[in-house]
Amino acid sequence: MTKPTFWLRCETKEFERRAALTPTTAKRLIDAGFQIFVEREEQRIFDDSEYEAVGCTLVENNSWPKAPTEVTIIGLKELEESTDPLPHTHIQFAHCYKNQGGWSKVLSRFHRGGGTLYDLEFLNDASGRRVAAFGFHAGFAGAAAGALALSAQKKGEKLGLLQPFENEEAMVATVKQLLGGSGKGVKALVMGALGRCGRGAVDLFRKIGLAEDDILKWDLEETAKGGPFKEILDVDIFVNCIYLNSKIPSFVTREQIIAAGKQRKLSVVVDVSCDTTNPFNPIPIYSINTTFAEPTVAVDVGAQNPALSVISIDHLPTLLPREASEQFSMDLLPSLLEWPNRQTARVWTDAEKLFKDKLGAAAVAEGLV
């Protein structure tokens, strides 16, 4: 194929409605000389016809394994578990660079197939900042889910199925309604409040009516003394938005929670960072990822103590799929336009070097060398 080509694969993760390429960004790429294949997908927030209308070529659902190996496959979430070798170049979130559970098995598929991974989480600009991230919408949606869980818990119920919202306004209106008209009186602590994710969480809490003094905004300065932090137990909702890349003291522990007994105010923990299987997870009070179907997991807090639940959904921005996709894809677009020059374009050469480093470690871990 003479034109630079991207193949937008379907997302197989349940409830995932976002897309790495939107009709808007696909058209920009086509106008720049790219060819774009799009797998038919009913779950995606954008209709197939929207892509077709801007010049994309529609192909069969989940047919990317049959695509020519010189075609680059682009998606969002990790591929389904398999041992099949991967001969293509993939652009996606793979969640395997920080020693997460099963990391070496994921990378071993590339080793055996000869393919390459450009992990979206590690595409950085010259200052080391990610070129595209769902952080704001992750924080916004995470805070909303936390407020919904708190509302249910106050009624003696468990939060049920979470459905994507049409837009931010619909999300805010629903949360306010279920809180009795406003979030006034609710107290929240946002960890990592100065980052994109943290700013999103703070924005949601403001929009549902929390008083400014009831939104504790913590970042490096507030956490410098090291945890665990008693202050977390004194709020209704704790939202963790930090980016974890090394071991740090735990923010909160089960022992601390049990010791607080009935004096604890904390009812809901939202771990937006979702480092569930990371050995450095600073919230070691749960051990599973939750889902849109089962958004919360109960924490063992000891007999007779008030309930505490954790939300640890690893694709929260899909609660706002259209807005989150448009923002992310537009931020990613300048780097995608550089794809034909990926042998020299720094964002891509850095990502490839990191892949090769991680691939070597995985090959050793899996006994492939």
243 marked ligand binding residue: yes
Active site (annotated) includes residue 95: yes
Which residues does residue 7 pair with via DSSP β-bridges, in sequence order? Answer: 37, 73
SS3 label, residue 250: coil
Query: Is 129 marked as a binding-site residue?
Result: yes
Residues forming a β-bridge with 38? 8, 58
Q: Which of 13, 27, 88, 95 is catalytic?
A: 95
Closest to 124 in 3D by CA, of 333, 327, 335: 335
196 assigned binding-site residue: yes
The answer on whether 357 is annotated among ligand-binding residues is no
Q: Could you tell me which of 41, 126, 195 has the C-alpha nearest to residue 349?
A: 126
Q: Is 220 exposed, middle or buried (0-12, 13-18, 19+ CB in 10 A)?
A: exposed
Q: Residue 330, CB half-sphere, CA atoms under 13 Å: how many?
A: 7
Residue 102 assigned as binding residue: no
CA distance 184 to 206: 10
Q: How far apart are CA 115 and CA 277, in angstroms?
A: 25
Given the residues 77, 111, 187, 207, select the one marked as catalytic: 77
Confirm whether residue 223 is marked as ligand binding: yes
Q: 321-337 vs 135-154: helix axis angle to the nearest 10?
A: 160
314 is in an annotated binding site: yes
137 is catalytic: no
CA dist 1 → 98, 201, 293, 314 (Å): 35, 44, 42, 36
Query: Could you tell me which residues are annotated as the binding site?
Result: 129, 195-196, 219, 223, 243, 272, 313-316
Query: Could you tell me which residues are annotated as the binding site for NAD(+)?
Result: 129, 195-196, 219, 223, 243, 272, 313-316
Active site amino acids:
77, 95
